[in-house]
Chains A and B, each alone.
Chain A
């Protein structure tokens, strides 16, 4: 369940603890004074390894903000964020960059790919940037899983939206990051293409043990996840394990009546 107290020491967050990423009493506000908006109001969460976690909640509830803070794309106002063994909070640009390059994979809603590179080059881009060698076997596994074998030499403009998202998934996986973060990866896709992408994410977690965190609006998408966390007004208010789409929908409907309990 939701943690209410920060854990002392670092040992608990190490890989052996089975936690891939962790937020500890994270607060995030934008602006200052009267105009200040609190996007996250003391969120603590452990994201277990090899699990496919979905984050849901109404618009403006802080889902993207939480994901950005966890991924080191944004800094927190207070609290701590960990990815694997690394304490993200307090890292400088260089450290954050290396974290994103080596420990984290991203899938955005759209514009995931560089138009000047082929699908294959896009997939291996994080490795190339880091000057690392491509593990060909793993690359082949990933490419076959997303079904892009015959599209590798194509440029993004020659691919459909669904194919582009699958290239993005392959890219996120190929460097075997500690966590893959996906912000509404199926938001721009029709249900058929969306299902392909979601199925792939689910398999990556189950077959390859890849930790995946996905933000979504879609109850159906959330039903692919092992665990669904519900955010409201910057608080984690509910959590479901391996829910069906109907359960998720139902929970969403009743979120309005849930009163967020501020942490002390």
Chain B
């Protein structure tokens, strides 16, 4: 039996390759994800241990809850120095510093930090060119910043810090051990200590931390304990090794999430793979009916028949896992290399490794997926009565009642789980529900395929070959359905996501055109090291005075602590302007300028907390002592300003930054917005991170990130779709083999090669378009459900990405044509006489 199986397997090399390919691709994705994240994790661990190589113990201020940590004073350094066993204690100053390139634009990185620090001469940085900064207007820059920005010693460089743009002279370029430009793609710049303190911490004579080295014979741990004892509470004292691990762990936590995302997409690809393998085995078993029945008539038991099919699956799974693992290591290594050199930088890769997790998951996934997919066809094969050997091999059409009822039940189960998932905001329930719903819809597909295929087919079957192609695709509803369902999965996920994103865009657009009465929006492009970009108050004053501006207001924003709750607050410069431009309506009290001890609340926050006009609320701001405010007004639910409380302008001086984060302006009636915009823009010449936009520009900027999200998801789902395309090719190729005799007959009675190819192509396009239509329908349903669930999160409008959906339909048709190429050529090349004689 074993021998017979292997023989039959080897005699069908093409089938072997086609069915194994789906598993290979899925396994490749899985093992590639593991290899990539493992390599990156080890590289980051190496990076941080070299970053803290010179640090034995590090001291930093401990932050009180809700408050910004107070920087360290020189006294703390003196205290540390007095601890026995301390060889040196150096005060560090570090903070955000963004360099401006020679083109006037802020230089960005792909996630690596941009910071400035005080040049102490005791760090790891070694001057490569020139000399260390010594004067107020001098800086040294890291090698990586020098190469990225094209800076040389003697050049000027403009920097954004807590203060607006300031220009410095580059006196030196430094590097790290081994002549490296950076430790991990970061852009850094070194100031003299007083300048660093002023620009990075905003105060003279303060430090952000202390780097301590141990004297000979003192262990890091002992030193840490001694320093901590001396300083008392209020300080975090850690060894350099612990700090390195902490930071590496933080990055690795992020990478783990990244890995889960990749594995999620790998899972989708494998899920699609199951459809393909299931189909392949079903077709192979159907074609081997005679062979299997012959084995049965010779006395093989049902178990042996099942065993022979499962064995075939195991062999395919094993080979596919090995090949997939190998390909995955290659892909993982390639991606790691690309990743490490992103932006021309420089994460030193710690050699490519193959983690145990990659090997185990590859084999587990590859074998299990293949065997699971083969079990159903194997069971069916075992039921073949021996007498069938003598009869026609073609299996009669089994009724679809059972599968349809099961499908409806499974789809309902998936839908219910999805509903609960949305209700409880539980991701596992949501994803589980989606997968189960897919299985349900896939089971329903055969019953749908009859009317759908004939409908789609009618559009394509204007000629005889077209008609034959359409009939062929309707011939085996299960086969067509599973092939189409595989394509459905990828397309419906993309469609669902784009429905949500289109709805979000539409909601934002509606908001901007309806409730937002501002003409100009002045804001930072995204976040800078976790903080929004800001600008100084006097610039806002200049905006107000600009010719054509009717009124303008802005706010500083920060988190505030109320008891245990972290709330979000904006300190508004002009409440009247806010009320007018955001069209705020009072719920209770009057929306009017606030006294220093008053605040305004949005309706939902007030309801949630049970606050009304006159309630007193105690808030802890980032600086200073807790303060008590009285509720001055509550405004009615608004889409524009929700979730944030309004504080008087005076509160901003206790925010982490009292600068303006966002500002809004209205132009005078009759004034041209574009002209006013042109006059306002130059005011921000020193704040290149700030942009001045009109309403439509603002909407575009806000929604442009959606396109990036969509593109990423499309790329990640491309594999699932590729596997589905393989499925179409597979089904067609096997059908061509199965219908060899018919093809021979058609050729014998005068069908041209081109007509044969057209016939196969129509079949392929019908299957693909059917899959796409299913995918679009399921995707629409998923998207609409998600939008409904997110109604309270601000997605108030339902938008349909018709153009995108039409594109997917076209892509599916093209995919159908492409998938048909090889099978069609094979069919057209058949020798007529051989085909007629084919058994």
Binding site for B on A (CB under 8 A): 68, 73-74, 93-94, 97-102, 104-106, 108, 111-112, 114-117, 125-126, 128-131, 171
Most buried by A among B465, B745, B748, B750: B750
Which residues on B sit within 8 Å (CB–CB) of A111?
741-742, 745, 836
Most buried by B among A98, A102, A116, A131: A116
> Of B463, B745, B753, which is within 8 A of A114 by CB?
B745
Please, could you name 19 A-B residue pairs with CB atoms under 8 Å apart, sorted by A? A68-B833, A73-B748, A74-B833, A93-B753, A97-B752, A99-B750, A100-B750, A106-B748, A108-B836, A114-B468, A116-B468, A116-B474, A117-B468, A125-B464, A128-B464, A129-B464, A129-B751, A130-B750, A131-B463
Shortest beta-carbon distance, B397 to chain A, in Å? 10
- In Å, the complex CA distance between A131 and B755 comes to 11
Contact of A106 with B749 in the complex, beta carbons under 8 Å? yes
**Chain A, Cβ-Cβ closest to B396:** A157
**Chain A, Cβ-Cβ closest to B755:** A129
**A73-B833, A114-B746, A131-B463 known; A97 vs B751 contact (CB < 8 Å):** yes
Contact of A129 with B749 in the complex, beta carbons under 8 Å? yes
Is there a chain A Cβ closer than 8 Å to B747's Cβ?
yes
- In Å, the complex CA distance between A68 and B741 comes to 16
Is there a chain A Cβ closer than 8 Å to B379's Cβ?
no
- In Å, the complex CA distance between A79 and B672 comes to 91
**A111-B741, A116-B471 known; A73 vs B832 contact (CB < 8 Å):** yes
Contact of B833 with A125 in the complex, beta carbons under 8 Å? no
- In Å, the complex CA distance between A168 and B241 comes to 87
Contact of B750 with A129 in the complex, beta carbons under 8 Å? yes
Interface range, B side: 20 to 34
Is there a chain A Cβ closer than 8 Å to B826's Cβ?
no
**A116-B471, A117-B471, A131-B463 known; A97 vs B745 contact (CB < 8 Å):** no
Shortest beta-carbon distance, A148 to chain B, in Å? 18
**Chain A, Cβ-Cβ closest to B392:** A157
Contact of B471 with A100 in the complex, beta carbons under 8 Å? no
Most buried by A among B467, B472, B752: B752
- In Å, the complex CA distance between A131 and B465 comes to 11
**A73-B832, A73-B833 known; A94 vs B752 contact (CB < 8 Å):** yes
Most buried by A among B463, B465, B472, B745: B745
Which residues on A sit within 8 Å (CB–CB) of B468?
114, 116-117
> Of B463, B475, B832, which is within 8 A of A116 by CB?
B475
Q: Which 4 A-B pairs have the closest CB atoms?
A: A101-B750, A116-B471, A128-B464, A100-B750
Which residues on B sit within 8 Å (CB–CB) of A98?
750, 752
Main secondary structure on chain B at its contact with chain A? helix
Which residues on B sit within 8 Å (CB–CB) of A100?
747-750
Which residues on A sit within 8 Å (CB–CB) of B467?
128
- In Å, the complex CA distance between A171 and B463 comes to 19
Shortest beta-carbon distance, A64 to chain B, in Å? 9
Which residues on A sit within 8 Å (CB–CB) of B753?
93, 97
Which residues on A sit within 8 Å (CB–CB) of B752?
94, 97-98, 129
**Chain B, Cβ-Cβ closest to A100:** B750
- In Å, the complex CA distance between A25 and B551 comes to 105
Shortest beta-carbon distance, B390 to chain A, in Å? 15
Shortest beta-carbon distance, B749 to chain A, in Å? 5
- In Å, the complex CA distance between A102 and B752 comes to 12
- In Å, the complex CA distance between A115 and B739 comes to 10
**Chain B, Cβ-Cβ closest to A101:** B750
- In Å, the complex CA distance between A231 and B393 comes to 35
Which residues on B sit within 8 Å (CB–CB) of A128?
464, 467
Most buried by A among B463, B464, B474, B749: B749
Which residues on B sit within 8 Å (CB–CB) of A171?
749
- In Å, the complex CA distance between A20 and B207 comes to 108
- In Å, the complex CA distance between A93 and B467 comes to 23
Which residues on A sit within 8 Å (CB–CB) of B832?
73
Shortest beta-carbon distance, A110 to chain B, in Å? 10
- In Å, the complex CA distance between A100 and B750 comes to 5
Shortest beta-carbon distance, A244 to chain B, in Å? 33
- In Å, the complex CA distance between A105 and B749 comes to 7
Given A108-B745, A111-B745, 15 other A-B residues pairs in contact with their CB atoms under 8 A:
A73-B832, A97-B747, A99-B750, A102-B750, A105-B749, A108-B836, A111-B741, A111-B836, A114-B742, A114-B745, A114-B746, A115-B475, A117-B468, A129-B755, A130-B750
